[in-house]
Chains A and B, each alone.
Chain A
Amino acid sequence: MGVILEVKNLTKKFSGLTAVNDFSFEIKRGEFVGLIGPNGAGKTTIFNLISGFEKPSSGKITFNGKDITNMKPFKIVNLGIARTFQIVRAFKFMTLLDNIKVSCLSTRGKELAKQYGIDESASSILAAVGLVDKARIPPVILPHGDLRKLQIGKALGTNPQLLLLDEPFSGLSHEEQQGITELIKKLHDDGVTVFMTGHVLRELMHLVPRVIAMNQGKYITEGPPQEVANNKIVLEAYLGKGSEQLA
């Protein structure tokens, strides 16, 4: 497996605060990786930097061997990275189908839609995320779990190779979380490389084979979830100093 994403010595400073501090990691093509860390660790900032929503203070991001550091978000999408947001946003008063069609109009989305047309392409994405029976209704009346699915669908519309999912479980009921879990598993099985964050770990830690842990902008460790969960510094980041005395 080749490396799809390489992040090297990435640093992001916001006046006085170093949100991401000399952070390096790699993701291989077809991998399924989680990024964990307590609230404020810098997970979303890393996603913002990869997807071009923020410019790094220093460091380098390489996607498929191409330097994408400082590239604009739309260019990064056209290279094959799509992301979702922690706070769900949708075109509230357009139908779900039209919501998806918007992202199908992106360069890579159009490429994908060439064969069967945009309507067909968007419908099949809605089917994949389990919303096909709601194609004609607008997001305003959807429950939160469906909005999360729609967000993933919108990202899929751009035909990504690498999918960044920011807190896909947050604010969901247990049943809804399981629905999203199934969906993400399926996408990964279909060949999409998935990189996701989470501070609610119950689902994530059982889903991914590898996690990268961070705190206060810094890399701590990476490995299988079970191993990372027993790392002393990880425990300290989540439970506080002196956590080794706990069972």
Chain B
Amino acid sequence: MNNLLEIRKIYHYYGKARALEEINLTIEDGALDAVIGPNGAGKSTLLRVISGLEEPDRGKIEFLGERIDDLKAHKIAKKGIAHCPERRRLFYDMTVMENLEMGAYTLKDRKKFQELLGFVFEVFPRLKERKKQRAGTLSGGEQQMLAIGRAIMANPKLLLLDEPSLGLAPKIKNKIFDTVNKIKKEGTTTLLVEQDAVLAMEVGETIHLLEEGKIEMRGTKEQLEKEPRIKKVYLGI
């Protein structure tokens, strides 16, 4: 398999506070990787640096062999990276359908648009039922579905998912994660950031454990399950 994304020695600071320290991360084409870690570990910052919402202070990011760390976010989006942000950030006054159309604004191909829309409605039939409804009136779980759907509509080569389970009931969490699996099976490479370590380890093929801006450990679920380090990173003891 080829490497889709290569992150080399990335550092990022907010003022004087160090958010990311010497991050190295490679994502293979077709993979589903998960980054876990407690609150404040730097998970969201990592995604923001990849999608260009933050410019890294040092280091290099290559996407499809091309350097992207100095590009603006809209250019990176055009290259095929879709970022589904934490807390959804929908266009709340627009309808479900309009939100999905907004997701596809870089897409020129009408046929592809219909195809993607079909896929989104297939995995989230609820969105089809509610396509004329204003996004702000959806439930939390439905809003999360829409946020993921909107990102899929960009037809990304790499999908960045930030805390898709945040604030959701266990049953809806599971449904969202089933869909993450389906998206992966359709061939979309996915990088998932998630505080719920157990859930993330269920779906992620490779799991990266982030602590205070550093990747402390990585491996498969089977490898990490036996590691007392995870509990220690989350609970400090």
Contact A206 B236 (CB under 8 A): yes
Which chain B residues border A234 with CB–CB below 8 Å? 235
Interface size class of B (residues with CB under 8 A): 20 to 34
Number of chain A residues whose Cβ lies closer than 8 Å to a Cβ of chain B:
32
Q: Is A239 an interface residue (CB 8 A)?
A: yes
Q: Which of B74-113 contact A (CB under 8 A)?
A: none
Chain A residues contacting B170 (CB-CB under 8 Å) are 241
A225 to B39, CA, bound (A): 19
B235 contact from A40, A144, A171, A205, Cβ within 8 A:
A205
A143 to B40, CA, bound (A): 19
How near does chain B come to A218, taking the closest CB pair, in angstroms?
16
Asked if B234 is at the interface of the complex by the 8 Å CB criterion, the answer is yes
A232-247: CB near B (< 8 Å → 1, else 0) gives 0011001111110111
B15 adjacent to A144 (CB under 8 Å)? yes
* Interface: B195 (CB within 8 A): yes
Q: Does B52 sit within 8 A of A, measured CB to CB? A: no
Contacts of A246 in B (CB 8 A): 197-198, 225, 227, 230-231
A39 at the interface (CB under 8 A from B): yes
Given the known inter-chain contacts A172-B17, A229-B231, please indicate yes or no for A201 contacting B225, CB distance below 8 A: no
- Chain A minimum-CB-distance residue to B170: A241
A173 at the interface (CB under 8 A from B): yes
The 23 listed contacts between A and B (C-beta, < 8 Å) are A38-B38, A39-B195, A143-B16, A144-B15, A171-B14, A199-B38, A199-B40, A200-B212, A200-B236, A205-B235, A225-B237, A234-B235, A235-B235, A238-B38, A238-B234, A238-B235, A241-B170, A241-B196, A245-B198, A246-B225, A246-B231, A247-B225, A247-B230
A240-B38 contact, Cβ under 8 Å, with A202-B236, A229-B231, A246-B225? no
